[in-house]
């Protein structure tokens, strides 16, 4: 079995955390590394998974980009529509912000002019602009886009709460390019209790009960869990991420185990994917 879904980023060391934040507020994790404890925003649904919000300068794990990445070069904040037709994808509104920080030599500062790119499936579990055994959406470009971070290191997208497909927990893919020669690739995940709440409503409910939760997804890691709150018309979340450019490669992680499920259908629709895909 390949190890493409293993983290290649790193968590800040004890010395780095003390250098950045001081001794106060540092809490030991089971693995011995130190994370700065910060009160998490109350979960949007009862029974939510317990997670401590991590400080912006903790470097998150890097994981596989999966098999549905397409280099679209679409610079836009609202990614819900297909640029060619104007058709807007239905779903619970989601405002997703990335707070990108530069970790360098013990300093932690906002990283402006970094490109943040996101892509994810629609409410039915289908990706745009790809051909798969269960669907063909080539030429459509909904739920894909990129933004440059502002002076505060922020990039905010308007999208929808993603759907699900067999073999994967609910997630959104993203890349951060701090410059023209390096890239950080990962995914963010959603609390299972919140997803159950969202999927009980249209247009998600018609797909039925999902088969894969965070704990059974081979790519999921707690550091990648979004802290989502409800808004008047949907949901919003800000994902802080520290980028240590000295750890980044100039390549793209290959799709690893668990990167492909069965988009576009119920669990197992169309049978398992061919070996190695």
Does any domain span residue 43?
no
Q: What is the pTM of this model?
A: 0.76
Does any domain span residue 144?
yes
Calculate ∠ Cα 12-178-250, nearest 5°.
Answer: 90
Does any domain span residue 203?
yes
pLDDT one-digit tens code per residue, 118-151: 999 999 999 999 999 989 999 999 999 999 999 9
Residue 73's domain spans which residues?
A: 53-247
Determine the pLDDT at residue 54: 53
Determine the pLDDT at residue 104: 86
DSSP 8-state symbol, 254: P
Does any domain span residue 60?
yes
Residue 46's pLDDT band, with cuts at 50, 70 and 90, is: very low
- Based on the structure, what is the number of domains in the chain? 1
Does any domain span residue 158?
yes
**Could you tell me whether strands 235-243 and 93-104 are parallel, antiparallel, or unpaired per DSSP bridges?**
parallel
CATH assignment of the domain containing 206: 2.60.130.10
Does any domain span residue 11?
no
Does any domain span residue 103?
yes
pLDDT one-digit tens code per residue, 188-213: 999 999 999 999 999 999 999 999 99
Cα separation, 90 vs 260, whole angstroms: 23
Choice between 88 and 211, residue whose per-residue pLDDT is larger = 88
Cα separation, 186 vs 49, whole angstroms: 20
Return the SS3 of 86: coil
């Amino acid at each position: 079995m390949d190890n493409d879904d293993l983290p290649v980023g790193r968590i800040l060391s004890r010395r780095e955390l003390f250098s950045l934040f001081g001794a106060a507020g540092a809490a030991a994790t089971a693995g011995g590394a130190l994370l700065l404890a910060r009160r998490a925003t109350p979960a949007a649904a009862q029974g939510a998974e317990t997670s401590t919000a991590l400080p912006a300068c903790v470097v998150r794990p890097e994981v596989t980009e999966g098999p549905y990445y397409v280099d679209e070069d679409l610079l836009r904040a609202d990614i819900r529509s297909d640029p060619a037709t104007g058709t807007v994808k239905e779903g619970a509104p989601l405002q997703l912000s990335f707070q990108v920080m530069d970790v360098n030599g013990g300093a932690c500062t906002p990283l402006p002019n970094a490109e943040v790119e996101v892509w994810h499936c629609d409410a039915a579990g289908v990706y745009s602009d790809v051909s798969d055994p269960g669907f063909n959406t080539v030429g459509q470009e909904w739920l894909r886009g990129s933004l440059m971070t502002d002076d505060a290191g922020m990039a905010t997208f308007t999208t929808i709460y993603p759907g699900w497909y067999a073999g994967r927990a609910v997630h959104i893919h993203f890349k951060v390019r701090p410059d023209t020669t390096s890239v950080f690739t990962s995914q963010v995940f959603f609390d299972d209790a919140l997803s159950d709440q969202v999927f009980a409503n249209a247009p998600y409910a018609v797909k039925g009960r999902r088969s894969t939760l965070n704990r059974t997804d081979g790519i999921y890691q707690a550091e990648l869990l979004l802290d989502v709150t409800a808004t008047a018309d949907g949901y919003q979340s800000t994902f802080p991420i520290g980028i240590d450019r000295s750890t980044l490669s100039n390549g793209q992680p290959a799709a690893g185990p668990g990167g492909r499920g069965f988009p576009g259908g119920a669990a197992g629709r169309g049978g398992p994917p061919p070996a190695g895909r």
